[in-house]
């Protein structure tokens, strides 16, 4: 199952990279990058969710996966297109795309989204259970006090 087409990754290109590759996008190379990125992403997400991500079952996760694949594929293509220049300044956008994709992967794998079925609290107060001691006390109260333990001859 393919998450994206080459047109989805093209949205993240800069015009200079397209001009460097002859004014046209190398579609064969781009689909190779897309296939590689999709396989790597599925392997990373396998521990956290069912892969491939189904659009009908989880549309939010599918949209994120699609966006991540487009960003990482575009970054690979940009590095390939600028590889003849040999400097890091020309690939800064590819690094930025990888950074943005990692943020989305972290969001996918940590699951920090709020539950949708949570009910609103009926009272704005928060009740915190305590053991009845003053909050400033640092020593715990003894389990038994002297008055609770009988003396030597009186107990028998």
pLDDT tens for each residue of 93-131: 889 999 999 999 998 888 655 556 767 777 777 666 666
Question: If you ran DSSP here, which 8-state letter would residue 87 be given?
Answer: -
Domain extents in the chain: 27-109
Which has the higher per-residue pLDDT, 70 or 78?
Answer: 70
The answer to which of 19-23, 42-46, 88-92 has the lowest mean pLDDT is 19-23
- How many CB atoms are closer than 10 A to CB 101? 23
Distance, in Å, from the CA atom of 36 to the CA atom of 41, rounded to the nearest integer, reads 9
- Average pLDDT score, the chain: 80
pTM equals: 0.66
Please give the structure tokens belonging to residue 45: 């997400």
Write out pLDDT tens, residues 52-71: 999 999 898 999 999 999 99
Length in residues, the chain:
156
CA-to-CA distance for 147 and 137, rounded, in angstroms? 21
Residue 76, both tokens: 């690979």
């Amino acid at each position: 199952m393919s998450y994206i087409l080459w047109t989805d990754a093209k949205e993240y290109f800069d015009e200079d990279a397209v001009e460097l590759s002859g004014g046209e996008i190398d579609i064969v190379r781009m689909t190779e990058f897309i296939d590689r990125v999709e396989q790597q992403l599925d392997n990373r997400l396998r521990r956290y969710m069912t892969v491939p991500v189904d659009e009908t079952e989880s549309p939010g996760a599918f949209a994120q996966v699609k966006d991540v694949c487009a960003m990482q594929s575009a970054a690979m293509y940009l590095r390939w297109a600028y590889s003849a220049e040999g400097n890091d300044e020309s690939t800064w956008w590819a690094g930025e795309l990888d950074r943005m994709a990692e943020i989305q992967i972290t969001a996918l794998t940590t699951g920090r989204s709020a539950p949708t079925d949570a009910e609103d609290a009926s009272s704005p107060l928060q009740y915190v259970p305590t053991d009845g001691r003053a909050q400033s006390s640092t020593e715990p109260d003894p389990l038994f006090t002297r008055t609770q333990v009988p003396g030597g001859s009186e107990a028998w």
